[in-house]
Amino acid sequence: YLTRLRAAEPRVRSFLHVTEEENVFRAAEEVDRKIERNEEVGLLAGVLVGVKDNICTADMPSTAGSRVLEGYKPPFDATAVRKVRELGGILVGKTNLDEFGMGSTTEGSAFQVTANPWDESCVPGGSSGGSAAAVSARQCVVSLGSDTGGSVRQPASFCGVVGLKPTYGRVSRYGLVAYASSLDVIGCFGTSVADAGVLLHAISGHDTFDATSSKREVPDFTSLFTSSNNLKPRPLQGLRVGIIRETLEDGVDAAVISSIRAAASHLEDLGCSVTEVSLPSFSLGLPAYYVLASSESSSNLSRYDGVRYGQQVAADELTSLYGGSRARGFGAEVKRRILMGTYALSAGYYDAYYKRAQQVRTLVKKSFKAALDENDILISPAAPSAAYKIGEKKNDPLAMYAGDIMTVSIHLSVNVNLAGLPALVLPCGFAEGGRAGLPIGLQMIGPAFDEVWNKFSA
Ligand code: GLN
């Protein structure tokens, strides 16, 4: 893995910070010694893990892809990172992302552009593009990302790997740099569902440092993959699959539609019943998401004032110190979000934007609930197209936002009861024409806290 990491890095640029090889070897030798001495080793013993750079790590920089946090080394590990280390996982580095997770291509990083390992002229998706590319290029075994509106699932789709966004509350957000707190979730990348499941098992559970983390018992996400039953086909008989009609309409690439339909008929062959379901409010999720996410982010980012973190401009009075540090530290997309969010929350416009977005949120949540009362899982594409060229949408924010249509809505189901829905993306086909050969991802959405279909675990 380290050889591949080094070899691929100049072209793919997945990492903002790479662990010294010496330290990786030392950690690996420690695991070896334990095994030799017949001591117990953890679930992730010796597994090389990449961590998105908006997740805090005590011994490495954590920039969230922003100049505002350049040089910042947190004095603590995020809970998810602490658990990875306690179980023997070895951190290979911090992966690139769109600044504060705001973007869909990783071009919004203040430091570098990451390339898609399948075609280096294309984007890896985002915002967890570094984590997805690193797993796709086999620079690490698994990686952690974060998903506020698709940032694990869409890059997994673009990079042809598995991306798992757990239920909101399943994994502690302590140490995850906040973008939109009611939507942010830490998620997992792997080259197989089993790997993503093992990593999820490692990081799940209640945490007294995050009041929104759930006290529900964590099922054994690894039990499905133990060596004895690893290769047994699972009984899919009776699984009710709903295919979301609105995600296979105009504006979605033909190859994406045919891949999803092919996956659906494959599921039918395996014993599932597949029916089409309609979620009429599905497309309303996109504008509602951008109003809500921008509003929350405008509030969350107020802490970067040049005093507590990162770099400070010289100024002779406080407001120009704040203003100057923020003007220099934030990139264009982040400023756009702060402006949109502040506008939506301002007294005169609150009812027209923020309140209406909350109302849409309720609508979307209800329609998902109804669809999941009738079906065990819902399926859709993870994105309307395969990966596109670097630069293609960089200067067209609305086109970039529109590409999030498949993934943003399910976050809106996080509401007062803080449930949210889990979703898994896995490769299901390849694009055609100009994007020939680039992977396409299938998204499977389940009920809250049902990452492992309960009939499987029974
Ligand atoms: N692309 C979406 C946004 O920019 C989602 C990002 C994310 O999930 N962090 O908000």
Q: Is 172 a catalytic site residue?
A: no
pLDDT tens, position by position, 284-337: 999 999 999 999 999 999 999 999 887 789 999 999 999 999 999 999 999 999
Q: Is 157 a catalytic site residue?
A: no
Q: At residue 92, does pLDDT exceed 70?
A: yes
pLDDT tens, position by position, 206-245: 999 999 999 999 988 887 665 555 555 567 888 999 999 9
pLDDT tens, position by position, 379-394: 999 999 999 999 999 9
CA of 86 to the centre of ligand 1 (A): 30
CA of 434 to the centre of ligand 1 (A): 26
* Right CATH for 2-230+378-457 from 3.40.50.620, 3.40.50.1100, 3.90.1300.10, 3.40.50.920: 3.90.1300.10
Q: At residue 196, does pLDDT exceed 90?
A: yes
CA of 364 to the centre of ligand 1 (A): 18
129 lines ligand 1 (CB under 6 A): no
Residue 10: pLDDT band with limits 50, 70, 90: very high
Q: At residue 458, does pLDDT exceed 50?
A: no
150 lines ligand 1 (CB under 6 A): yes
Question: Which of 54, 104, 189, 333 to mutate for ligand 1's pocket (most ligand atoms within 8 Å of CB)?
Answer: 104
Q: Which stretch of 143-157, 341-355, 404-418 has the lowest confidence by average pLDDT?
A: 404-418
Q: Is 151 a catalytic site residue?
A: yes
Q: pTM of the predicted model, to two decimals?
A: 0.96
* Predicted pLDDT of residue 413: 77
Return the domain boundaries, the chain.
Answer: 2-230+378-457
SS3 assignment for the chain: CHHHHHHHHHHHCCEEEECCHHHHHHHHHHHHHHHHCCCCCCCCCCCEEEEECCECCCCCCCCCCCHHHCCCCCCCCCHHHHHHHHCCCEEEEEECCCHHHCCCCCCCCCCCCCCECCECCECCCCCCHHHHHHHHCCCCCEEEEEECCCCCHHHHHHHCCEEEECCCCCECCCCECCCCCCCCEEEEEECCHHHHHHHHHHHECCCCCCCCCCCCCCCCCCHHHCHHHCCCCCCCCCCEEEEEHHHHCCCCCHHHHHHHHHHHHHHHHCCCEEEEECCCCHHHHHHHHHHHHHHHHHHHHHHCCCCCCCCCCCCCCHHHHHHHHHHHHCCHHHHHHHHHHHHHHCCCCCHHHHHHHHHHHHHHHHHHHHHHHHCCEEEEECCCCCCCECCCCCCCHHHHHHCCHHHHHHHHHCCCCCCCCCEEEEEEEECCHHHCCCEEEEEEECCCCCCCCHHHHC
